[in-house]
Copies of this chain bind each other. A is one copy, B any other.
Amino acid sequence: MQTQGRHAMTNSSQNSTKCSTGGGALSCPPLKTHPSSFADVLQLLGAEGADLSAASQIPMVLRRVHGGESLAHEGTPADALFFVCAGTFKIFRTNEDGYEQVLAFAIRGEVLGFDALCMDSYPTAVSALEESSVYVVLKRDVFALSQLIPSFGVALQRAGSMTLTRSRELVELLAAVASEVKLARFLIQLSRRMAGCGQSPRRFHLRMGRREIASLLGVAHETVSRAFSALAAMGMVDVSDREVEILDLDGLKNFARSTRRHLNESSESRLPRPMVQRSDTGRRTMARALAA
């Protein structure tokens, strides 16, 4: 689907700060109230249903979020937690220079605002990249909810733990590789997450622009563009604007293993490496060789 042209999402995924509501997390029209919402959230987070008749007085609404709309603003009072039901979100911070640093992308099943549990205001901003929906839980209700529905507390812990794992994977991605390898790892992570949501792991539509990917990966957006071209020239992927198809997943995974130092300081190397030769970095050579 989505056979529309190049910038189909342009009008909705532009610079945020548009039609955001800011405060008042429950101020949007609730499409659904609490009879089965708890069950939905628990299923969303991968937990088994339990005695969820207890918490009938605690509000939990499904909120619809338009593309470009903000769920949370950096520095504003943090009153709610969100569970992504559908759509895509970006988590970011805005520098005082105006530079937008993307910290993560979130899709179905993930929790938003978990980093605000330990403080009074949101440390990061959240905005939707497309038409999305989230379950809203007020922070002041989290404790009671965890008491009344124990599996909710467990599921919340698991979701937070998962978010931390994702963030650590991102650190690993950012810290020690060349730009094409960064992009390859990013695509693999994305592919895994899409598969976890029942989507195709080989072919998907990027909800974010090149600039946002570049911000996440810590490179210039031109470099992301060049990296896409390089991966395509290597036959790993097929890219047409935001439509991505992974042609050679094994090759991509193998390429994503490239490290910065091809010969590192571990003296007694556990696995001897016979194929790397001196006087050549190896990674760029590998890319060029495969591209030729």
- A171 and B174 contact, Cβ closer than 8 Å, known pairs A114-B164, A158-B117, A161-B160: yes
Q: A56: CB under 8 A from chain B? A: no
Say whether A98 faces chain B, with CB atoms less than 8 Å apart: yes
Q: Are A117 and B161 in contact (CB under 8 A)?
A: yes
Question: What is the 8 Å Cβ interface bit string for chain A, positions 264-288, against chain B (1 contact, 0 not)?
Answer: 1110011101000000000000000
- A20-39 vs B, CB cutoff 8 Å, 1 = contact: the mask equals 00000000000000000000
A142 to B158, CA, bound (A): 12
CB A174 to nearest CB in B, in angstroms, measures: 4
Q: Are A150 and B160 in contact (CB under 8 A)?
A: no
A217 vs B175: C-alpha distance in the bound complex, in angstroms?
6
> For the complex, is A250 an interface residue (Cβ under 8 Å from B)?
no
Q: Which of A199-234 contact B (CB under 8 A)?
A: 211, 215-218
- A157 an interface residue at 8 Å Cβ cutoff? yes
Interface residues in A, total, Cβ within 8 A: 60
Of the residues B93, B97, B114, B157, contact of A156 by C-beta under 8 Å: B157
Give chain B nearest CB distance to A118 CB in angstroms.
4
Report if A53 contacts B (CB, 8 A).
Answer: no
> For residue A153, which residues in chain B have a CB less than 8 angstroms away from its CB?
146, 153
The answer for the CA separation of A217 and B95 in the assembled complex, in Å, is: 19
Given A114-B161, A143-B154, A157-B117, are A175 and B264 neighbors across the interface (CB < 8 Å)?
no
Q: Does A249 contact B (CB under 8 A)?
A: no
* B147→A150 contact, CB < 8 A: yes
Closest chain-B Cβ to A153's Cβ sits at a distance in Å of 6
A104 shortest CB reach to chain B, Å: 8
In contact, B96 and A218 (Cβ under 8 angstroms): no
Q: Is the beta-carbon distance between B164 and A115 smaller than 8 angstroms?
A: yes
Q: Which B residues lie within 8 Å of A43 (CB)?
A: none
Given contacts A161-B115, A164-B114, contact A174 B175 (CB under 8 A): yes
> Does A176 interact with chain B (Cβ within 8 Å)?
yes
Judge if A133 is at the interface, Cβ distance under 8 Å: no
Chain B residues closer than 8 Å to A150, beta-carbon distance: 143, 147
Known: A95-B259, A103-B168, A175-B217. 15 other contacts (CB 8 A): A96-B271, A97-B266, A98-B269, A98-B270, A99-B176, A103-B172, A104-B171, A114-B164, A118-B157, A118-B159, A118-B161, A123-B165, A146-B153, A167-B168, A175-B215
23 A-B contact pairs sorted by A residue (CB < 8 Å): A93-B172, A95-B259, A96-B271, A97-B264, A97-B273, A98-B265, A98-B269, A99-B176, A99-B264, A99-B266, A103-B168, A115-B165, A117-B160, A118-B161, A147-B150, A153-B153, A156-B157, A164-B164, A164-B167, A171-B174, A174-B174, A174-B218, A175-B216
Closest 6 CB pairs of A and B: A98-B266, A175-B218, A117-B161, A118-B161, A167-B167, A174-B174
